[in-house]
Structure 1
Amino acid sequence: MKGRVFIIGLGLIGGSLALSIKNKHRDCIVMGYDINEEQTKLGKMLGVIDETISTIKSGAEKADLIIISAPVNETCKILFSLSNMNLKENVIISDAGSTKKEVVEAASILKDKGIPFIGGHPMAGSHKSGVSAAKPLLFENAFYLLTPQPHIDVSLIESLKTWLAGTNARFLTVSPEEHDYLTGVISHFPHIIAASLVHQAEKSSQSQQLIPRLAAGGFRDITRIASSSPQMWRDILMHNKDVLLTLLEDWRIEMERVKSLLQAANEKDIFSYFHDAKQFRDELPQKQKGAIHAFYDLFVDVPDYPGVISEITGYLADEQISITNISIRETREEINGVLVISFQTEEDRDRAMDCIKRQTNFDQTIGM
């Protein structure tokens, strides 16, 4: 497709959308704006965008497609500003936020002026942030939820999908309310639970000093999403408050159920509780991206000798395999420790497994 695309917000998501559009539509021009001017300049230098834009107005009035990749509060303000600009007649406006009801309500001001808005949420992310972390295939095989209002013509939705075809994402159309409930259940609420588990451990550590040391393994893994941006999760909770309050009440009832199982000491029912959970969890798709970005971890048993970690990372560097994080679990003299290496993609992890297997005799397992 030909035309001008304007990306407002050049972080990981906005930058990755820009790259996917540029790669698919070679004849289009991708313009970029970010409140942080350095991000905009970096985006141009890295080839993420074709043109830097100094004000939203100057970019929006030239655009055939506008994508807002900003926090929900800012998105609502931007939508109001756009409604007062002299936009092109056939422009399409979308966003990339993780909550939708309030954004779509804010976009109603565009409807009165005949400007189509189609809410969007590409459900993929990364451990990294900023435009320098942008990848054209960040959204490949991920779900991309669209939340058009009933008055939006189907042809406009198809046009947006064509613009976004380079994401290689799997598009689903849902209502804003359904979107917020779905993401509440499988993304927003789990982040609350992870944070609450960390708070509980922190309080317990005041009387049990061993807790931080013992929590360095599995506990740290199952609560890793609690390390996400506090500002982002504050905003998400505020904008999806009603859904999350309902889910918290459901959780209270579920915990009362567990409490009653323990009080009754019914071994059969307790077994069934964990068995049923295991069965449902094991049947979840393994190769499919979901609302929470996957963690591609590799656990390597390493002997305790000087330089073993740099040796392994050196092998990976030689084959240009990028890692996102690395940590060591309890290495003691004459006993194998565990090196935990995290990767951006499953492909990178598989390549790393093959590399380490060829270069060493160290045992490896993957995170589940």
Structure 2
Amino acid sequence: MKGRVFIIGLGLIGGSLALCVKNQHKDAVIIGFDVNREQARLAKMLTIIDDIAETIESGAEHADLVLIATPVKETERILQLLAKTKLQPHVIISDAGSTKEQIVNQSNLLKERGIAFIGGHPMAGSHKSGVTAAKSILFENAFYILTPEEHIHEQQLLQLQDWLAGTKAKFLIMTPEEHDYLTGVISHFPHIVAASLVHQAERKSETQKLVPRLAAGGFRDVTRIASSSPEMWRDILLHNKAVLLHLFTDWQHEMKRIENMLQSENGEEILAYFAQAKQFRDELPKKQRGAIPAFYDLFVDVPDYPGVISEISGILAHEEISITNIRILETREEIYGVLVISFQTDEDRERANTCIHLNTSYETSI
């Protein structure tokens, strides 16, 4: 497709969307804008975008597609600005935010002008941030939710999907309300739980000095999502307030249920509780990407001698396998140490596992 695509927000998501559109639509011109001028400069230098817009208004004025990849509160402000901007009558505007109902409501000002806004949410992310972390494969096989209102024509929805075909994502169509409820259950609320567990551990560490050391292993992995952007999660919680307050009530009932089992020392009921949870969790799709970005970790048992990290990283570099993170665990018993290596995809992890087995005698686990 030919045309001008304007991307507002040139971080990981915006930069990756730009790459996907550029790869699929060779004749499209990609214009970018970011309040951080350095991010915009880097995006152009890396040829992620073709040119930089000085303002949102100037970038949007001649665009055929506008993609907003900013925090949700900022997206609201941008929609208000676009509603006052001279736009092409056929332009399609979409966003990439984690909440939809409030944003779609904010787009009513565009609807009054006959401008098409289709809410979007690509369910993908990475350990890294910023435009330098952008990847054209970031959304591959991930769910990409679109939340068109009833006035949106099917042709407009198909046109947006065509523009976004380079993501190689799985498009799901639902209402903004359904989106916010589902993401509340399987993404927003788990982030709150993870953060609360970290707060509890921090409080206990004031009197139990071993807490931070022992939390370096499994606890750190369980609460990994608590390391996400505080500003982003503040905005998400405020946007999805009604759903999350409802889930808080459900969670309190769930905790009370477990408390009652423990108070009565009902071993059979406790066993059944964990067995049911295990069964449901084990039946969840293993290869399918969901709302929370997956962590593709490989655990390598290594001896304690200088150069072991460079040995492993050298093997992976020789095979051109990209690593997103590498760290050492020291809390497992009966072994010297464990390297935890994180990868972008499950395929990279499988390749790494194979080549480490072929080139070393180290034990690995997933």
Q: TM-score, normalised by structure 1?
A: 0.97
Cα deviations across residues 302-343 of structure 1 (Å, max 9, x unaligned)? 111221122111212222222121111228999431111111
Question: How many angstroms apart in 2 are the aligned matches of 1:319 and 1:57?
Answer: 46
SS at match of 1:126: coil
Residue type of the alignment partner of 1:218:
G
**1:168 lines up with 2:168 in the alignment:** yes
Q: Greater CA deviation, 308-317 or 298-307?
A: 308-317
**1:78 lines up with 2:82 in the alignment:** no
Q: Trace 1:1-368 onto structure 2 (pairs within 5 A).
A: 1-330=1-330, 335-366=335-366
Question: How many angstroms apart in 2 are the aligned matches of 1:83 and 1:232?
Answer: 24
Question: How many angstroms apart in 1 are the aligned matches of 2:305 and 2:85?
Answer: 65
1:231: how far off? Answer: 0.9
Q: Greater CA deviation, 353-362 or 284-293?
A: 353-362
Residue type of the alignment partner of 2:175:
S
- Native 8 Å contact 2:147 2:174 kept in 1: yes
Q: Which runs of 5+ in 1 are unaligned?
A: none
Cα deviations across residues 248-292 of structure 1 (Å, max 9, x unaligned)? 110000000000111111111111000000000001001011000
Question: How many angstroms apart in 1 are the aligned matches of 2:333 and 2:242?
Answer: 53
Percentage of pairs with the same residue: 67
- Native 8 Å contact 1:304 1:331 kept in 2: no
- Native 8 Å contact 1:304 1:333 kept in 2: no
Question: How many angstroms apart in 1 are the aligned matches of 2:94 and 2:331?
Answer: 50
Are residues 325 and 272 of structure 1, via their aligned partners in 2, closer, same or farther at CA, if it must alter by over 3 Å?
Answer: same
Q: TM-score, normalised by structure 2?
A: 0.98
Residue type of the alignment partner of 2:186:
I
Question: How many angstroms apart in 1 are the aligned matches of 2:69 and 2:218?
Answer: 34
Cα deviations across residues 205-243 of structure 1 (Å, max 9, x unaligned)? 112111111111111110111111111111111111111
Q: Greater CA deviation, 102-111 or 300-309?
A: 300-309
- Native 8 Å contact 1:61 1:87 kept in 2: yes
1:158: how far off? Answer: 0.7
- Native 8 Å contact 1:4 1:31 kept in 2: yes
Question: How many angstroms apart in 1 are the aligned matches of 2:259 and 2:44?
Answer: 56
Residue type of the alignment partner of 2:29:
I
CA RMSD of aligned residues (A): 1.4
Q: Greater CA deviation, 102-111 or 334-343?
A: 334-343
Question: How many angstroms apart in 2 are the aligned matches of 1:138 and 1:310?
Answer: 27
- Native 8 Å contact 2:214 2:331 kept in 1: no
Question: How many angstroms apart in 2 are the aligned matches of 1:187 and 1:2?
Answer: 36
SS at match of 2:339: strand
Residue type of the alignment partner of 2:296:
Y
Question: How many angstroms apart in 1 are the aligned matches of 2:80 and 2:214?
Answer: 50
Question: How many angstroms apart in 1 are the aligned matches of 2:333 and 2:217?
Answer: 19
Cα deviations across residues 36-84 of structure 1 (Å, max 9, x unaligned)? 1111111111111111111111110110000111111111111111111
1:174: how far off? Answer: 0.9
- Native 8 Å contact 2:122 2:142 kept in 1: yes
Question: How many angstroms apart in 1 are the aligned matches of 2:306 and 2:84?
Answer: 64
Question: How many angstroms apart in 2 are the aligned matches of 1:295 and 1:360?
Answer: 24
- Native 8 Å contact 2:71 2:232 kept in 1: yes
1:350: how far off? Answer: 1.5
1:105: how far off? Answer: 0.8
- Native 8 Å contact 1:304 1:335 kept in 2: no
- Native 8 Å contact 1:184 1:240 kept in 2: yes
SS at match of 1:298: strand
Runs of at least 4 residues off by over 3 Å: 331-335
